[in-house]
Amino acid sequence: MDLHKLTIHELRELLANKEISVLELTEDVFKRIDDVEDKVKSFLTLTKEQALARAKDIDEKLAKGEKLGALAGIPVGIKDNICTEGVRTTCASKMLANFTPPYNATVMKKLESADAIMVGKTNMDEFAMGSSTENSAFFPTRNPWNLDRVPGGSSGGSAASVASDEVIFALGSDTGGSIRQPAAFCGVVGLKPTYGTVSRYGLIAFASSLDQIGPFTKDVTDCALVMNVITGHDDFDSTSVPMDHPDYTKFLINDIKGMRIGIPKEYFGEGIDPGVEAKIKEAIAKLEELGAIAEECSLPHTEYAMPAYYIIAPAEASSNLARYDGVRYGLRVEAEDVLTMFNRSRAQGFGTEVKRRIMLGTYALSSGYYDAYYLKALKVRNLVKQDFDRAFEKFDCLLTPIAPSVAFEFRSKADPLSMYKQDVCTIPINLAGLPALSLPYGLVDGMPVGLQLIGKPFDEGTLLRVAYTLEQNTDETRLKPVLGGSGR
Amino acid sequence: MSKYEAVIGLEVHVELKTKTKIFCGCPTEFGAEPNTNVCPICLGLPGSTGVLNKKVVEYAIKAGLALNCEIAGYNKFDRKNYYYPDLPKGFQVSQYDYPIAFNGYLDIEVNGETKRIGIERLHIEEDPGKLVHLGETITVAQGSLIDYNRSGMPLVEIVTKPVIHSGEEARVYLEKLKQTLEYTGVSDVKMEQGSLRCDANVSVRPVGSEKLGTKTEIKNLNSFRAVQRAIEYEIARQIDVLEDGEKVIPETRTWDENKGITLSMRNKENPDYRCFTEADLPPLDVSREWVEELRNSLPELPDARKKRLIEVDGLPEYDATVITSTKALADFYDRTVEKYKDAKTVSNWIMGEFSRLLNANNLEVSETKVTPDGLAKLLGLIENGTISGKIAKQVFEEMFSTGDDPAEIVKKKGLVQISDQGQLEGIIAEVIANNPKSVEDYKNGKEKAIGFLVGQVMKATRGKANPGMVNKLLKEKLDQI
């Protein structure tokens, strides 16, 4: 049986009925990795030995009839900006190529106590800065649908590993679209939870006020199952919200009758590929057919979200990345004096895009420019939030495309601005701290299209419900790639 | 009279005495092995975030209240960005535009006059690690080691308004600040352990000028005396520079204790710290109720306490000043007076014997075994004539080292005063018989000779004779001769 093709809930059943062992499943997944990894290149590090040992361990517990966690024996890929004790965590940067954290991120502790099995650390854009995974300091990951195309980014390795069945699910992080856009490009389900839902302790920070960890899964049910494990208040992260989170599987309801869905007009038209727009419109029609009430609405400050984001995120990054100075860990380039050592280590450790953003952010925070850039961007951020607040007075959720186009070819967005525009539909959601789900919906030119469902704060439930209903009533959301293309 | 006026502002960093660090659970103990009290959070490892220690906020509010500050309801934290090897995150978490306490003051006394020193602000921040240079001084060091035990220790920075005008005022302000904070219990305020650190901003201007002169910042001030000396030196230096028709260079200078001079460390090129909100910490609301609760929990502060000792207990001002110099001493006094009402006698003993023994043994009040109860009992024994004042000092020394009850000590050592007239008369007769020369001197008008004879009686009784009675009886006997 091709166990790697299955979902969490399918495998849970097989494991519960003792039809398969965790070891069989884990070995099957590693066989799959052996078969396709040289084409897809999702992983920066594989942890096969630990995974197999853990599989045996869990099998023993199963045999003894011990109570196991909700993700017992399920293989998972972890984005390489999430700290894993004893397993190197590089952020796909030369700066951290030799960094092995002495501690686990809170999500890792949660996955461990849920008895999930980490199979490896997935590739990404360096320090999560990028939308194609081309900014990895090590190698690019390829899109399983067409190896000549990017998997999206920055969590490209996580998305590609799930799409190509190298793992059953994966975790990524999303600062401006880094879960949702690669999920859309690779045809899997991705969720960026509400800011504060998942602990950021152990997530190597890019922009602290925007970063959020979330799941990549093969279907909506799996998304709810993973959310049940990774959410929750954390005493180590003061931005994690002290509230009880629901059982997300309760929202897996095949019924959206009467649900009011807003279609913000600013997310359509100019800049959006007509094929993508047509697919999204199809999805809207399908939702209406299923009883939802879709209506156009307006988020008037949308066009200012991207410029505000490219002040706020780099400003925070310039400070968050200041700790990489060669003193305590990471790359150190020796020099005669300490200042030169700092400078050389950072010059050699960081890639072009990271340096660009550090410079942008440093500039925006400098005295004399602070008010004109950073402070103004914060004001815009507030306006963007208020747009959403107003829309949610009327709607249960909003629906937009995830990205302006399907996955593009390598090196086709060499100019940074055209790459930044990839995130035009996803950035406003991070600025507002809202939850948003990326759901595959059909193909254009043989590549998956993603639709974005945006929810009220902490209302991931509605997003799961809408996505689940669509999933139950069309074939457009279940897509399997063929691993075609030259892969050059 | 100088034609220049000095303008001085002090920036004081005070380490708060919380059990754990500001954003993590690492202990704050002083003197641990380097780099043992550390974790991913205070090492600023990639991915770490932290949670603000509530005690830090509580202590900062208490300190602010003790310094007569207003307390901010809305608080936020900021990042101060700069590169230094002891700063593990490349930024220091501090409060930039919303300090937790502001607009306070301390009254000091200089040359018999009371002067109010305005306090601009008090804000919370984290301490960086500590660099240990391998060499005599930083300039000739061959290398440096970093101890991150100090990283993430909670601090408050207390900034005065530029209203101090001499090195002496600066020192007296610091002493008052230390005293006040010691009373609140929020810090050890020990300069020698680095829990109180002071930088001084010094400038001079022609008398009558409104405009501030160019200032220098003086660092490496390791004692209150150093603060005063360094400021005095720096004022004189700046006046010399101006008198020579040159300009004071805005710079950071270091105090060389041995040479007694300040030296240029680096030009102050106004570093841009790019302060902005620390997104890892949500804004903090401090409720009025909490502030009032903390205000009510503050002990009586030095000024109020001194006033009470003068006005209620009737102590001379000098006594009240000495007794209230530390909270521990003042508490000892108050608790003794509760049991033994003669305040002046208690004060004499605390300023005298008690302080002498503390100094001689280099102990803090809290480290001694003698209790206020014990001292009160001892004074009672003197009052009721059981022992003499002289014997009492001997008993007190014993109490100081053992903590034993004074009555027990007196009993055990047989120190009860001899007040039996018949017994004393016998001893006096013997002394008179054995010292005819002194008796003759006395008879010839040498009044002082009686002192020797009293001494002989005391010697014979090993100090236990009631001195008043001995004096009286001896005189009577001699006059009869």
What does the DSSP assignment read for B399-431?
A: HHHH---HHHHHHHTT---B--HHHHHHHHHHH
Query: What's the pLDDT at A384?
Result: 98
Task: Check if A325 contacts B (Cβ < 8 Å).
Answer: yes
Q: Taking CB atoms and an 8 Å limit, are B51 and A236 in contact across chains? A: yes
Nearest to A238 among B47, B89, B280 (CB): B280
What is B300-317 written as a DSSP string?
PPHHHHHHHHHHTT---H
Q: Taking CB atoms and an 8 Å limit, are A328 and B79 in contact across chains? A: no
Nearest to B52 among A238, A324, A366 (CB): A238
Interface predicted TM-score (ipTM) over 0.85: yes
pTM of the model: 0.91
User: What pairing do the DSSP bridges indicate for beta strands A447-455 and A397-401?
Assistant: antiparallel
Q: Taking CB atoms and an 8 Å limit, are B50 and A236 in contact across chains? A: yes
Chain B: residues touching A (Cβ < 8 Å): 40-41, 43-52, 79, 81, 83, 85, 88-91, 146, 272, 274, 276, 279-282
Query: What's the pLDDT at B176?
Result: 97
Q: Could you count the other beta carbons within 10 Å of the beta carbon of residue A67?
A: 7
The stretches of B125-273 forming alpha helices (DSSP H) are: 167-184, 224-243
pLDDT in tens, A352-398: 999 999 999 999 999 989 999 999 999 999 999 999 999 999 999 99
Nearest to B89 among A235, A322, A329 (CB): A322
Residues of A in contact with B280 (CB under 8 A): 205, 208, 237-239
- In A323-415 the beta strands, taken as DSSP E runs, fall at 397-401
Rounded to whole angstroms, the Cα distance separating B167 from B221 reads 12
Nearest to B47 among A205, A324, A362 (CB): A205
Residue of B nearest to A328 (CA): B88
Classify residue A231 by its DSSP letter. Answer: B
Q: Taking CB atoms and an 8 Å limit, are B46 and A323 in contact across chains? A: yes
Task: Write out chain A's pLDDT in tens, 488 residues.
Answer: 699 999 999 999 999 999 999 999 999 999 999 999 999 999 999 999 999 999 999 999 999 999 999 999 999 999 999 999 999 999 999 999 999 999 999 999 999 999 999 999 999 999 999 999 999 999 999 999 999 999 999 999 999 999 999 999 999 999 999 999 999 999 999 999 999 999 999 999 999 999 999 999 999 999 999 999 999 999 999 999 999 999 999 999 999 999 999 999 999 988 899 999 999 999 999 999 999 999 999 999 999 999 999 999 999 999 999 999 999 999 999 998 889 999 999 999 999 999 999 999 999 999 989 999 999 999 999 999 999 999 999 999 999 999 999 999 999 998 898 899 989 999 999 999 999 999 999 999 999 999 999 999 999 999 999 999 999 999 888 888 877 655 54
For residue B67, the number of C-alpha atoms closer than 13 Å in the C-beta half-sphere is 36
CATH number of A3-261+395-477: 3.90.1300.10
Confidence check: pLDDT of B470 > 90:
no
Q: Taking CB atoms and an 8 Å limit, are B279 and A208 in contact across chains? A: yes
Q: Taking CB atoms and an 8 Å limit, are A239 and B279 in contact across chains? A: yes
Query: What's the pLDDT at A484?
Result: 62
At B290, the amino acid letter reads: W
Residues of A in contact with B81 (CB under 8 A): 318-319, 322, 365
Query: What's the pLDDT at A148?
Result: 96
Query: What's the pLDDT at B141?
Result: 72
**Do residues A206 and A177 lie in contact, with contact meaning Cβ atoms separated by under 8 Å?**
no
Classify residue A194 by its DSSP letter. Answer: P
Q: Taking CB atoms and an 8 Å limit, are B274 and A204 in contact across chains? A: no
Q: Taking CB atoms and an 8 Å limit, are A342 and B89 in contact across chains? A: no
Rounded to whole angstroms, the Cα distance separating B413 from B451 reads 26
Angstroms from A325 CA to nearest CA on chain B: 8
Q: Which residues of A are marked as active site?
A: 79, 154, 178
Residues of A in contact with B79 (CB under 8 A): 319
For residue A29, the number of C-alpha atoms closer than 13 Å in the C-beta half-sphere is 32
**Do residues A19 and A11 lie in contact, with contact meaning Cβ atoms separated by under 8 Å?**
no
pLDDT in tens, B325-372: 999 999 999 999 999 999 999 999 999 999 999 999 999 998 989 999
Instruction: Report, as an integer, the average pLDDT of B52-58.
Output: 98
pLDDT in tens, B424-435: 888 888 888 888
Q: Taking CB atoms and an 8 Å limit, are A238 and B282 in contact across chains? A: yes
Average pLDDT over chain B, rounded to an integer: 92
Measured CA distances, B453 to A377, B418, B467, B473 (Å) = 94, 17, 12, 12
Query: What's the pLDDT at A349?
Result: 98
> Where are the domains positioned within chain A?
3-261+395-477
Task: Check if A204 contacts B (Cβ < 8 Å).
Answer: yes
Query: What's the pLDDT at B431?
Result: 87
Nearest to B272 among A202, A322, A366 (CB): A366
Question: Which one is predicted more confidently, B20 or A336?
Answer: B20
**Do residues A71 and A8 lie in contact, with contact meaning Cβ atoms separated by under 8 Å?**
yes
Alpha-carbon Rg for chain A, nearest whole angstrom, is 21
- In B134-275 the beta strands, taken as DSSP E runs, fall at 144-147, 154-160, 196-206, 216-221, 251-256, 261-267
Structure tokens at B413: 């050592």
Q: Taking CB atoms and an 8 Å limit, are B91 and A338 in contact across chains? A: no
Rounded to whole angstroms, the Cα distance separating A300 from A298 reads 6
Query: Which domains can be identified in chain B, with CATH numbers?
Result: 4-290 (no CATH), 300-413 (no CATH), 421-480 (1.10.10.410)
* CA end-to-end span of chain A: 31
**Do residues A168 and A76 lie in contact, with contact meaning Cβ atoms separated by under 8 Å?**
yes
Q: What is the largest CA-CA distance in chain B?
A: 98
Angstroms from A411 CA to nearest CA on chain B: 30
How many CB pairs below 8 Å do chains A and B form together?
Answer: 104
Strand order of the β-sheet with B154-160 is: B70-71, B101-110, B113-126, B154-160, B4-15, B196-206, B216-221, B251-256, B261-267
Structure tokens at B97: 């535009």
Classify residue B160 by its DSSP letter. Answer: E
Selected for mutation to probe chain A from B26, B97, B274 (highest A CB count within 10 Å) is B274
Nearest to A83 among B46, B83, B88 (CB): B46
Residue of B nearest to A203 (CA): B47
Residues of A in contact with B282 (CB under 8 A): 238-239
Query: What's the pLDDT at B269?
Result: 64
Q: Taking CB atoms and an 8 Å limit, are B279 and A342 in contact across chains? A: no
Selected for mutation to probe chain B from A320, A339, A359, A376 (highest B CB count within 10 Å) is A320
Task: Check if A340 contacts B (Cβ < 8 Å).
Answer: no
* Residue whose tokens read 């018949």: B422
Confidence check: pLDDT of B1 > 60:
no
pLDDT level of residue B69 (50, 70, 90 thresholds): very high
Burial of B245 from C-beta contacts in 10 A (0-12 / 13-18 / 19+): exposed
**Do residues B249 and B214 lie in contact, with contact meaning Cβ atoms separated by under 8 Å?**
yes
Instruction: Report, as an integer, the average pLDDT of B157-164.
Output: 97
Task: Check if A100 contacts B (Cβ < 8 Å).
Answer: no
Query: What's the pLDDT at B322?
Result: 95
Task: Check if A102 contacts B (Cβ < 8 Å).
Answer: yes
Query: What's the pLDDT at A377?
Result: 98
Cis peptide before A154 (omega within 30 of 0): yes
Classify residue A237 by its DSSP letter. Answer: -
